[in-house]
Amino acid sequence: MAAAIRFRVVRALPMSRPAITAAATSVFCGSSHRQLHHAVIPHGKGGRSSVSGVVATVFGATGFLGRYVVNHLGRMGSQVIIPYRCDVYDIMHLRLMGDLGQLTFLEWDARDKDSIRKAVQHSNVVINLIGREWETRNFDFEDVFVNIPRAIAQASKEAGVERFIHVSHLNASMKSSSKSLRSKAVGEKEVRSVFPEAIIIRPSDIFGREDRFLNHFANYRWFLAVPLVSLGFKTVKQPVYVADVSKGIVNATKDPDAVGKTFAFTGPNRYLLFHLVKYIFGMTHRTFIPYPLPLFVYSWIGKLFGMSPFEPWTTKDKVERIHISDVMPTDLPGLEDLGVQPTPLELKSIEVLRRHRTYRWLSSEIEETKPAKTVNY
């Protein structure tokens, strides 16, 4: 007796809209056409669960600016590859910035070209945020600001990356007294020679919760007085808010007019260093006692601090960099050209400086502190 034949109904899994599009393309256009990965086909209403079409590799994502850039990329539904050299527990905070599976972490070696190629081979955007405030025995300023950016730009060019964004500094110059700023100027030139379409971002001193600008001066409360070259009356600063810088960088990944340009990111106001530090101490309700110190003496003290085997309080290069006035970039496009309105320092400084207050003044109003005087030069 023949066994009864049972037919099993197999139901196909529902296909997403990008998958249907890709399948239709392969049927009607033939298999010779290159199929696009669904990660680069924009769809959705916007947000972390959408797909922006940006697949970005962010070098230096574990740093101060990097976490904000990753957050803005993840917020609009981008896929982000994050190369890292630190312990895995040091990058846990980044995992929450994107939808499930949108953030990929990749261990890499800055001196291994194959490691760099692996990090950029699937991306259409590469962002270089690598930086360091002091030199180490393993990486000096030339490595950090020249050699590594050139290697990343070269690997990105060979991989066919559409957008390469390199972050430098507003005061980067071959003639600067600061070694780091001279190295950044050389790095810009090297990146541009390898990747002519690169977008170069030149921000001024960046302030935010984890910065080394406002927090640096606020921590001088432990020294009871603040040393300033010429009391800070010969130095002009124009700090920019970290969230504005990250928004500008992310907007540059989408702006077709940004290709090959150099942008200067600055805040809306310029301050004498004396008035800026006075405002910082006023916001923290600490006594401001400045005293003049010659540059060569201050640099010598910074050199002594730089010999520390731990993170130095300051260095010779930082002393020189802090006392260099920010240039006025009249001929370069800025944040406004990328659709970002610069945020005044007075609106966000409390986020940075509240933790430097004593318990007595912890909840005092911002209006109790007079805004810092601004200058127009």
Residue 17 has a pLDDT of 44
DSSP-derived 3-state class of residue 1: coil
Residue 88 has a pLDDT of 86
| Dist. CA 119–CA 100, nearest whole Å | 20
Tell me the per-residue pLDDT of 188-216, one tens digit each, with 9 for 90 and over: 999 999 999 999 999 999 999 999 999 99
CATH numeric code, 39-203 = 3.40.50.720
139, 100 contact by CB (below 8 A):
no
Count CB atoms within 10 A of the CB of residue 355. Answer: 11
Residue 44 has a pLDDT of 60
Checking DSSP bridges between strand 125-128 and strand 55-59, what pairing results, if any? Answer: parallel
pLDDT above 50: residue 1: no
Strands (E) located in the chain: 55-59, 79-84, 103-107, 125-128, 163-167, 199-203, 206-207, 226-228, 236-237, 240-241, 262-265, 270-272, 290-292, 374-375
Which residue type does 126 have?
V
Tell me the per-residue pLDDT of 2-57, one tens digit each, with 9 for 90 and over: 444 454 443 444 444 444 444 444 433 443 333 455 556 665 666 777 777 899 99
Which residue type does 333 have?
P
Strands (E) located in 73-225: 79-84, 103-107, 125-128, 163-167, 199-203, 206-207
Tell me the per-residue pLDDT of 285-330, one tens digit each, with 9 for 90 and over: 999 999 999 999 999 999 999 998 888 999 999 999 999 999 988 8
Residue 25 has a pLDDT of 40
Phi, psi of 357, rounded to the nearest 5 degrees:
-85, 155
Residue 284 has a pLDDT of 93
DSSP-derived 3-state class of residue 79: strand
Q: Rounded to the nearest 5 degrees, what angle is found at the Cα of 315, between the Cα atoms of 309 and 318? A: 145
How buried is 231 (Cβ within 10 angstroms: 0-12 exposed, 13-18 middle, 19+ buried)?
middle
Domain ranges of the chain: 39-203, 207-238+269-331+339-376
Counting every residue written for the chain, the total comes to: 377
- Structure-token pair, residue 85: 């050299």
Residue 332 has a pLDDT of 94
- Structure-token pair, residue 257: 């007019």
The DSSP code for 369 is: S
Q: Which residue has the tokens 């190295």?
A: 183
pLDDT above 80: residue 270: yes
Question: Residue 266: pLDDT band by 50, 70, 90 thresholds?
Answer: very high
pLDDT above 90: residue 162: yes
Residue 50 has a pLDDT of 73
